[in-house]
Amino acid sequence: MSDTPERGERERQEEELWQKLLEKFDDEQRHKDYLRFCVEHNLIGTAIKRYDEYSNDKERYPVELRRIARIKHQQLLGVMMVDTRIKAPSSSSKLFGTIGLIDILSVVLVLVLFFGSLFLESWIVGILSLVALGGYMAYKFHQAKSKLERTGGGDRWPGTY
């Protein structure tokens, strides 16, 4: 139960920062200070509620300030709805981060087919090349589609607006 006094102190500090923000609502630095505190102390929900109430209070606040509050409210909602499936790029290996295993295998396969053409019939090499090329293109298509879906761009393909 020692969390309750700390929570009360955080809420008091949040209230003070909000009141300071209300004194000059168009000051971006005050918004930054308030939002930084809310993020650091896990009070984003409180900030969302405050900005929403401010933006909807047509009686007390002018349109321009309510617009600022609406923008901040939408930004906070965006922070809360961040898709956790999107992963940060791996920094384990730059070589394998940019060149995938399938890419390396495809280069090896092309080399094997090239040198294999010296020893095999040309029609066998042609068929193997077509199969390898088709498989590689299907893999790259799937990889691009997956990337678009992870980044939120997978709902429309270019030219299909």
- For residue 19, pLDDT over 90 is answered with yes
Q: Which of 33-47, 79-93, 98-112 shows the lowest mean pLDDT across its residues?
A: 79-93
Gap between the Cα atoms of 30 and 161, Å rounded: 40
pTM to 2 decimals? Answer: 0.48
The CA-atom distances, in angstroms, between 77 and each of 35, 70, 71, 83 are 13, 10, 10, 12
- For residue 10, pLDDT over 80 is answered with yes
Q: Where along the chain do its domains lie? A: 3-80, 94-150
In 3-state terms the chain splits into helix, strand, coil percentages (rounded to 5) of: 70, 0, 30
